Structure 1
Amino acid sequence: MPLLLSAAPVAAVPDIKALATAYGTREAASSMRISPDGKQVLYFVAAGSAGTAVKVGDIETGESRIALVLDSAVVQPIDCGWKSSTRLLCRVYALDREQVGTLVAFQRTFSVAADGAGSLLLGPRANSRSIGRDYGGARVIDWLPDDPEHVLMEVNVVDSITINTNIPGARPGLSVQKVNVLNNRATIVEPGNRNISDYRSDGHGNVRFRSMVNYDPNGYVRDRETMSVRPKGSRDWQELDSASLSESGGPAFQGFDESGDAALVTRTLDGRAALYRQPLASGAPAELIFAHPIVDADFVWRIGKHRRPVAVAYTVDALELAFFDEALKKRAEALTRALPGKPPVSIIDESWDGRYQLVFAGGVTDPGRYYRFDTQGRELTEVLPVRPQVAEIPVAPQRAVRFPAADGTMIPGYLTLPPGKEDARGLPAIVMPHGGPASRDALGFDWLAQFFAQAGYAVLQPNFRGSSGYGEAWYATNGFKSWEIAIGDVNAGARWLLGQGIADKNRMAIFGWSYGGYAALQANVLDPTLYKAVIAVAPVTDLGLMKASARFNTYGTIINRFFGEGPHILAGSPARQAERIGAPTLIFHGDHDLNVDVMQGKVMATALAKAGKKHELVVYPKLAHSLDDSTARIDLLTHSAAWLEAALR
């Protein structure tokens, strides 16, 4: 289908339906992993509009088969890995409503035959003596690659009735169990403990990290976690660090180094997260491994049989890796030079013998593709593209920009322009704040930004203060408590587009998802005349309602501290300020959204109706926060384009 309809002498008109179909259709391949022998890959692929299949592909023959299929948008695989070249372990996420109507999430792990011959649920089953429900299921913490039948799993043991029975109940709480992936038989490695929230291993079969929390008299988790580790070869726990659960930027455990003699930890240095190596047995001081003068160290990059650490990831404008493995760094650079367009290359996995490496290559606007590199034969084989449906569409160029906030602070952002209009002036424009708020945007393919740019809009994605990745001062007290700073920066981005002549003041819009949807609404509250259209997807709209809904959550105290107390709860809630909204407002929400309940969208729509404001609320049944359904996403894009066209004409 042609994506541009030409009729001389007028300019080409975008085919919105075709563009929406191309960009709204979900990925053809994602979450890829290479098999232990390097001859196969597993990956996720859309199954129909809303389902997801786990496929196994033979790299040599190109043949593929379905190992597991989940046919609902509210039942999705989170992650899959290879236990052996014939068996996968897949963790699945599901949403459901309990008898009282409360929406809840479950996670479960399945042992799956790679040939699709069948699957087995791992972990304990509820029985007539069980008290309560296990929502987390069993989770792999060590794949035990040298043991063909077992893995170490973190297992939550629920209370059980023990009266009138001679069968002893296991100690309730989080435990570690050695589980047989063929028959689900298990032995206890670490007994249950209600105060432990996380266990990790060293990748060699030893449980050596735990995180502990405490509960107040009302059953809520207190705002502090304590991290402990075991030195190599020891059964004794020693405290590593502690952190607040409601605040950003505290210490975080990043696994063990390759020797196992030290823990890798991110801690604050000069206001930003830096990576340290903390020796465990010797008592030696921590050694600084990586720090950046502008941004945080994000996480440790791991690959291979025992998930060895090879780099630390950070993002200035695009994802970058500071390698520990010099040979791997040189290989990634060589692969970039060898590929057409010289795209950034990430080595994301490798076979257990290290011969074959799984490579992802994707440019700023290219959604990317997977390759296998043979380190012995020096041969690079393409495996699959991520989004083949957009391959023939000319890319919309993206570049990093900086613009001044009201107080002069320079705000980083990313500007995507319609193809062929890099120097155009007076374009219709969209400011697109990211979600989170503890998140950030970066250079790279974004299906929303690309769609709107292809439709003729300049798209600005600002990393306003309140974004993560730039250190403690930039994060401030988060984008809700510090909403005036965050939203002020968002609006400064719109004014910069106008000041540069890029945007037409009569065709300025704002679009956001999750916190971005909140920001889109609150930006119009702060300046009712700046935008001529507002589109909010799954937005937070009432901070007080968000706090009230947390009373049923064991982390309710943490959630309440995150939002805080004070006048910002009222002033920073768009649903409480609907009379100030100046632009036509379109809201999308899934009715199975566990992140931001659909009631938030409904409350906003009710407030807009009461204030006499033009608005529309679109609710997608049985869809979660990400609206992970091709039909819904295509509708969202098509509907949004029509809304903008009507409002900005």
Structure 2
Amino acid sequence: MAGPNGVEMTRLAVGLLLTMASPAIAADIPALAAAYGARPTAYGLQMSPSGNKILYYTPAGTQGLAVVVADIEAGTTKIILSSTKSTAEPYGCGWKSEDRIICRVHYITEALATQLAFSRAISLAADGSSRVMLGQRDSDKSVSLDQAGARVIDWLPDDPTHVLMRVNMAEQVSTGSNITGRQGGVSVQLVDVNSGRMTSVERAKPLVRDYASDNRGHVRYMETGDAANSGQLRDRAVYMMRAKGSDEWKRVAEGNLSGLSTWDFAGFDESGDGYFTLRDKDRRKALFRDSVEPGMAGGLVFADPKVDVDGVLRIGKYQRPVAAYYTTDSTQYKYFDATLEKRSRALSAALPGKPPVDILDENWDGTRNLLYAGGDTEPGQYYRYDVPSRKLSPLLPVRPELANLVQGVQTAVRYAAADGAEVPAFLTMPAGTAAATTGRHPVIIMPHGGPGARDALGFDWVAQYFAQLGYVVLQPNFRGSTGYGSEWYAQNGFKSWSTAMADINAGARWLAQQRIGDPQRMAIFGWSYGGYAALQASIVDSGLYKAVVAVAPVTDLALLKRDAMQYTNGSITAAYVGEGPHVSAGSPAQNAARIGAPVLIFHGDKDLNVDIAQSRVMDAALARAGKRHELVVYPGLAHSLDDSAARTDMLSRSARWIGDLMPPS
């Protein structure tokens, strides 16, 4: 049946390609927590070269993860790889050919009495058979740890059996002989995906951080670093290029690793003659095209006057660049391909509610597109679009558990900070309530993580959960957030914590002034840096919030720096946090006596992003100060609490904690 703009809607019957609606859920805490705490049913879709198959990730039990291959034409699905724990998960999967897939596996283990993360690459048939480990094999001759494993940097689509891989080579020694051992470092290898055999393309170098190809099989980009005798990385990066057919590397830029990046490589253009970079223009990141080829002109490709450009969208057989993407209040695309821009708009117009449509990929002959459609009130749906027939076919919903729930309306707002600066933020009203309706609703302020990050319009499972319970949720992009240029980033959210906290608390007061929020019923909830902000903001203004919830928070900046020194990037973390009185003044655990509201903390004990010691020292500090609080520890879980049961429990406990202190009605 043809819809608007001539797009025909069809339905594909594919076994596990979920199309069923979920039963209505009663508006109570346990049911809502289970619905919103459930991990996405499908994400990370990748289209096969023909477009007849897709692979995607789906939960396996409450915390495991499975990779599924669906044959759309045959209507069959098969799990080809799975894990039972969130501390060992497949990721980064892609199609080498119609019948061969490469995945990476991330896992956390104990080594040298320290929790460490490792990655390994696996090649396997599309039915899950014929598995082959790719990269360096572990050896008792190794004297250094290979944490990074191997990663594809060029899929070599015209070569049926090989890929180019960035391979981390552990240093090895030869004992009992006079033979010199192998030097460790990052190398590039031509790898046979059927046997795992490797042929060296770029030998291992200890100071190389990364390589990239021109998507035509030629290694043309290299990033190097520097290290002290102690093994700690220095805060310096050097970016190098080489011309086609040349072995000579030319330095094109330098940068640091602890501050806001001033030069980012964004891949080669379609010809391979030029390359894209993100660098400063009027104190915001813009997209430029440059070249190492003599006589070729470069210059500005795209800049937005208010926000940074985030990167380049690439699709298809040779990963051709088709758009620059950036985030104003929502993700936007500046297409280089007018046909794709027109297609995206037409498809959006054809779908109910006209949600934004992202073109994620195309098959190798360009006749099929993989799409995602979703918005602030829509959890999202994946589609396949057939270009010749103009047929749009639904594939998989992201969160079918929420199909029959009306989500809260989210709008972009601006409010004045204490010094008059205009802070961008996103306001989610209680489900069924019009945007910015006055009426003195209970409020949850929800600062984002990072701090080098930002929020945007789009479905947020935590914000929507609280909206279902009757809360107004405000997500501020306080100073210290990325995306708005170097001036807004300030010195980062730790060095400039006082400005960030002032911006966050100004949002709560603005809601009260607008008569949207009840000043006597305000809580704050945050995850990671957001958890830090929840604690620190309630210390800065001890009377503003009635409840505090912090998930995996940083609580002691000096401890953060000390713990980081166990790893090679410890000096970079120390430079990021900085030195001076802001370290103790900006540490919630060192100022716990000043916190003005009961505190609920959640943390997984396998967290490598923020060590659980951060929550334990806050727990002890609150106990010494005689403050009402609770620490909930989830054994075996990492930073994201990637477990439906744990997330459900976290949402339920949070709602009860906040509701007991400030009921929603």
624-633 or 496-505: which moved more?
A: 496-505
Q: Superposed, which structure 2 residues align to 1:149-164 within 5 Å? A: 149-164=161-176
Determine the structure 2 residue equivalent to 1:301. Answer: 313
> Shift of the alpha carbon at 1:218?
2.1
639-648 or 161-170: which moved more?
A: 161-170
> Secondary structure of 1:541's partner?
coil
Distance 2:23 2:200 in 1: 60
Work out whether 1:103 is the aligned partner of 2:115: yes
500-509 or 311-320: which moved more?
A: 500-509
Q: Which amino acid counterpart does residue 269 of structure 2 have in structure 1? A: D
Distance 1:94 1:430 in 2: 34
| Alpha-carbon displacement from aligned partner over 1:565-622 (angstroms, at most 9, x marks no partner) | 0000000000000000110100000000000000001110100000000000000000
Q: Superposed, which structure 2 residues align to 1:274-313 within 5 Å? A: 274-282=286-294, 284=296, 286-313=298-325
Distance 1:35 1:631 in 2: 33
Determine the structure 1 residue equivalent to 2:527. Answer: 513
Work out whether 1:390 is the aligned partner of 2:402: yes
> Secondary structure of 1:562's partner?
helix
> Secondary structure of 1:612's partner?
coil
Determine the structure 2 residue equivalent to 1:343. Answer: 355
Which residue of the other structure, out of 612, 634, 638, is the alignment partner of 1:624? 638
CA contact (8 A) 1:157 1:173 kept: yes
CA contact (8 A) 1:3 1:18 kept: no
> Shift of the alpha carbon at 1:518?
0.2
Q: Superposed, which structure 2 residues align to 1:380-459 within 5 Å? A: 380-422=392-434, 423-459=437-473
> Shift of the alpha carbon at 1:401?
0.4
> Shift of the alpha carbon at 1:118?
4.2
Which residue of the other structure, out of 37, 43, 63, is the alignment partner of 1:30? 43
Relative contact order, CA 8 A, sep 6+: which one is greater?
Answer: 2
Which residue of the other structure, out of 68, 78, 82, is the alignment partner of 2:91? 78
Distance 2:74 2:23 in 1: 33
Determine the structure 2 residue equivalent to 1:603. Answer: 617
Q: Which amino acid counterpart does residue 37 of structure 1 have in structure 2? A: S
Distance 2:574 2:333 in 1: 36
> Shift of the alpha carbon at 1:62?
3.0
Distance 1:283 1:15 in 2: 67
Determine the structure 1 residue equivalent to 2:593. Answer: 579
> Shift of the alpha carbon at 1:506?
1.6
> Shift of the alpha carbon at 1:170?
3.7
Q: Which amino acid counterpart does residue 445 of structure 1 have in structure 2? A: F
Q: Which amino acid counterpart does residue 468 of structure 1 have in structure 2? A: T
With over 3 angstroms needed to count, the CA separation of the structure-2 counterparts of 1:285 and 1:244, relative to structure 1, is farther
CA contact (8 A) 1:3 1:19 kept: no
CA contact (8 A) 1:427 1:503 kept: yes
| Alpha-carbon displacement from aligned partner over 1:144-198 (angstroms, at most 9, x marks no partner) | 1111111111111111122434876443211101111111111100001001000
Determine the structure 2 residue equivalent to 1:62. Answer: 75
Which residue of the other structure, out of 261, 270, 279, is the alignment partner of 2:273? 261
Distance 2:136 2:265 in 1: 28
Distance 2:428 2:586 in 1: 29
Distance 1:166 1:376 in 2: 66
Determine the structure 2 residue equivalent to 1:375. Answer: 387
Determine the structure 2 residue equivalent to 1:10. Answer: none
Distance 1:158 1:458 in 2: 52
Q: Superposed, which structure 2 residues align to 1:229-248 within 5 Å? A: 229-248=241-260
CA contact (8 A) 2:385 2:391 kept: yes
Q: Which amino acid counterpart does residue 38 of structure 2 have in structure 1? A: T
Determine the structure 2 residue equivalent to 1:503. Answer: 517
Which residue of the other structure, out of 500, 519, 540, is the alignment partner of 1:486? 500
Distance 2:348 2:24 in 1: 30
CA contact (8 A) 1:2 1:18 kept: no
Distance 1:164 1:2 in 2: 69
> Shift of the alpha carbon at 1:119?
2.0
Work out whether 1:183 is the aligned partner of 2:195: yes
Determine the structure 2 residue equivalent to 1:121. Answer: 133
Distance 1:2 1:35 in 2: 33
> Secondary structure of 2:166's partner?
strand
With over 3 angstroms needed to count, the CA separation of the structure-2 counterparts of 1:138 and 1:4, relative to structure 1, is closer
With over 3 angstroms needed to count, the CA separation of the structure-2 counterparts of 1:332 and 1:214, relative to structure 1, is same
CA contact (8 A) 1:2 1:15 kept: no
> Secondary structure of 2:313's partner?
strand
Distance 2:271 2:258 in 1: 33
124-133 or 501-510: which moved more?
A: 124-133
> Shift of the alpha carbon at 1:283?
5.1
Q: Superposed, which structure 2 residues align to 1:211-250 within 5 Å? A: 211-250=223-262
> Secondary structure of 2:310's partner?
strand
With over 3 angstroms needed to count, the CA separation of the structure-2 counterparts of 1:283 and 1:530, relative to structure 1, is farther
Determine the structure 2 residue equivalent to 1:647. Answer: 661
> Shift of the alpha carbon at 1:533?
0.1
Give the structure-1-normalised TM-score: 0.97
> Secondary structure of 1:540's partner?
coil
Q: Which amino acid counterpart does residue 375 of structure 2 have in structure 1? A: G
CA contact (8 A) 1:249 1:272 kept: no
Which residue of the other structure, out of 477, 483, 486, is the alignment partner of 1:463? 477
Distance 1:284 1:223 in 2: 32
Which residue of the other structure, out of 646, 650, 655, is the alignment partner of 1:636? 650
Work out whether 1:533 is the aligned partner of 2:539: no
Work out whether 1:136 is the aligned partner of 2:148: yes
Determine the structure 2 residue equivalent to 1:320. Answer: 332
> Shift of the alpha carbon at 1:547?
0.5
CA contact (8 A) 1:462 1:490 kept: yes
Which residue of the other structure, out of 102, 107, 116, is the alignment partner of 1:94? 107
Determine the structure 2 residue equivalent to 1:594. Answer: 608
Work out whether 1:477 is the aligned partner of 2:491: yes
> Shift of the alpha carbon at 1:389?
0.7
Which residue of the other structure, out of 315, 320, 343, is the alignment partner of 1:331? 343
CA contact (8 A) 2:446 2:476 kept: yes
Distance 2:342 2:379 in 1: 23
Distance 1:346 1:496 in 2: 34
Distance 1:512 1:130 in 2: 42
Q: Which amino acid counterpart does residue 340 of structure 1 have in structure 2? A: P
Q: Which amino acid counterpart does residue 134 of structure 1 have in structure 2? A: D
Q: Which amino acid counterpart does residue 78 of structure 2 have in structure 1? A: R
Distance 1:618 1:151 in 2: 45
Q: Which runs of 5+ in 1 are unaligned?
A: 6-13
Distance 2:32 2:130 in 1: 38
CA contact (8 A) 2:24 2:404 kept: no
> Secondary structure of 1:293's partner?
coil
Distance 2:551 2:610 in 1: 10
